[in-house]
A = this chain, B = another copy of it.
Amino acid sequence: MIERRDVFQAIADPTRRMIIHKLSQGPLNITQIGEDFGISKQAIAKHIKILSECGLILMSQKGRQQVCEARLDQLDEVTDWVTESRKLWNNRFEKLEQFLINTKKQ
């Protein structure tokens, strides 16, 4: 099995997508993030760990609080892959056409 724990896997979980959405509007600590979610603070902390491990959020200490800040540049990896796949997909007919031309030649 190949190394996982990348941006794609990070945004695969709906809870983590909601966390990112929430943090997009400004930094929050772990307790604040946990509000509105029906899960324990520990569960949130685990999600935070995953998100920070792949660079989607930045942590900073502020007293006893752990402040989380979104850092969405890494999402480029996702849009890049989608764009690339879409590009290939849109060209798929050209490939077919080329094949038909080559076949006719013979």
A→B interface (CB under 8 Å): 2, 4, 6, 8-9, 11-15, 17, 20-21, 24-26, 70, 72, 75, 78-79, 81-82, 84-86, 88-89, 91-92, 95-96
Asked whether A2 lies within 8 Å of B15 as measured between CB atoms, the reply is yes
* Stoichiometry (number of copies): 2
Task: Give the dominant DSSP class at A's interface.
Answer: helix
Q: Is A79 a contact partner of B82 (Cβ separation < 8 A)?
A: yes
A79 to chain B, nearest CB (A): 6
Q: Jot down 9 A-B pairs with beta carbons below 8 A, ordered by A.
A: A8-B17, A11-B81, A21-B88, A24-B92, A25-B91, A25-B95, A26-B92, A70-B92, A75-B82
With A and B bound together, what is the CA distance between A9 and B88 in angstroms?
Answer: 22
